[in-house]
Amino acid sequence: MSGEALYERYKDALKRGHVASLRGRPDEALDAYAEASTIAPDRPTPHTSAGTALMRGRRPAEALRHYDVALRLAPRDEAALLGRAQALTELGRRPEAADAFDGLAEIRATDGMLADAVDAARRGLELAEGRDRRRTLERLIARLRTSEPGEPGRLALERALLVLEGTAMTATLPPAGAGAASDVDLVPEPAPGGTEVADVDVPPARRSALDRDLPPDASPEELTWLVEVALDKRNPADAVERLLDLAAADLRLGHANAAMDACYAALSLEPDHVVLHLALVQLYEEKGWSALATEKLELLERLVSLGEDAAGADLVTAARAGRA
């Protein structure tokens, strides 16, 4: 069989594997990827793809073996490096996972992918605190700042700064119950004179970004499923709306960190979505990170002033007025 015919068989096997994986048929996907690896034993992609399918099926130990094979074939394969780091995280092997993210950050930085490098270094620091790891993240942040990053870069900076500054900011906040919002205590304090904050007549324009019309029994699990349905249907706009619903539900349960993760996921689909940015401003305020909330809002004001989104500009103006 000619080389061209073999390559077509290889591509067909990979395609069948991808389709089966996306449709939730991991065993069928693994068979197809095994066929692809037999046809092209020197290529890492079948093993990386098999690892991804196994991670979707919550089988990280098996996925890790496939990622290791892929990395023996291609030590700089970013997808395999990321998959390995995620599998180690799922297995609770935090120091090894942090080392894997460190390696991924180094490769991404060398390749000029500074925003992605900052994200990888941040995740390593989250998993295992260390002076050298913190200094590496600080150096990458400095490089990214000077590169005039676009929106993905700004998001990477925000997430990294939250990790670097979160401990220091938390130490300066009053304890929960003394007026500070915590990740598990988001109930508003009574206003002076005994008036509940919820009873204050809030102007319609100041409706918060995460004040969503959700059923009282809406669960994060159900909303996550709706996000996946929207993504499967290739409907990013609907996926963003469902992610906003998910963030609102998480916040209602007192899970501000999970709500931020939902917003970041949505921004990867629509980076210029004004309501998503305002939702992050709200979440930063809930966490007590006023400086970051102010910086975010000022940046958003500059962005909307450059465009033709009058409705978005009105929302930002209302948010600014509400914080005055």
What pLDDT does residue 36 have? 92
Cα distance between residue 286 and residue 119, in whole Å: 23
Break the chain into its structural domains and give their ranges.
Answer: 3-166, 175-323
Q: What is the pLDDT of residue 18?
A: 84
Nearest 5°: CA angle at 49, between 231 and 42?
Answer: 150
Chain segment 97-147, per-residue pLDDT in tens: 999 999 999 999 998 888 888 889 988 988 888 888 888 888 988 888 887
Taking the C-alpha atoms of residue 155 and residue 134, their distance in angstroms, rounded to an integer, is 18
Tell me if domain 3-166 and domain 175-323 are identical in fold.
Answer: yes
- pLDDT, residue 148, reads 66
At 195 the pLDDT is 38
* Superfamily designation of domain 3-166: Tetratricopeptide repeat domain (1.25.40.10)
Helix axes 3-22, 26-39, angle to 10 degrees: 160
pTM, 2 dp: 0.54
pLDDT score at 68: 95
Q: What is the pLDDT of residue 210?
A: 86
CA atoms within 13 A on the CB side of 280: 29
Q: Which of 255, 252, 279 is nearest to 265 (CA)?
A: 279
What confidence score (pLDDT) does residue 260 get? 87
pLDDT of residue 72: 95
Q: Which fold has domain 175-323?
A: 1.25.40
Q: What is the pLDDT of residues 84-94, one digit of tens each?
A: 999 999 999 99
∠ CA 43-45-46, nearest 5°, is 95
Tokens at residue 37, please?
Answer: 């690896």
CA torsion through residues 294, 300, 303, 307, sign: negative
Q: pLDDT tens track of the chain, all 324 residues? A: 566 788 888 888 888 888 887 777 888 889 999 999 999 899 999 999 899 889 878 889 999 999 999 999 999 988 899 999 999 999 999 999 999 999 999 999 998 888 888 889 988 988 888 888 888 888 988 888 887 666 667 777 777 877 776 533 433 334 433 333 333 333 333 334 443 333 434 333 345 788 888 887 788 888 999 999 888 888 989 999 999 999 999 898 888 888 888 888 888 888 778 888 888 888 888 887 777 777 777 777 766 665 666 777 778 777 766 655
Torsion, Cα 302 303 305 311, to 10 degrees, reads: -130
What is the pLDDT, as a whole number, of residue 274?
83
| Alpha carbons 191 and 198: distance in angstroms, whole number | 9
List the Cα angle 225/151/285 in 5-degree steps: 70
Q: Closest by alpha carbon to 56, among 80, 85, 90? A: 90
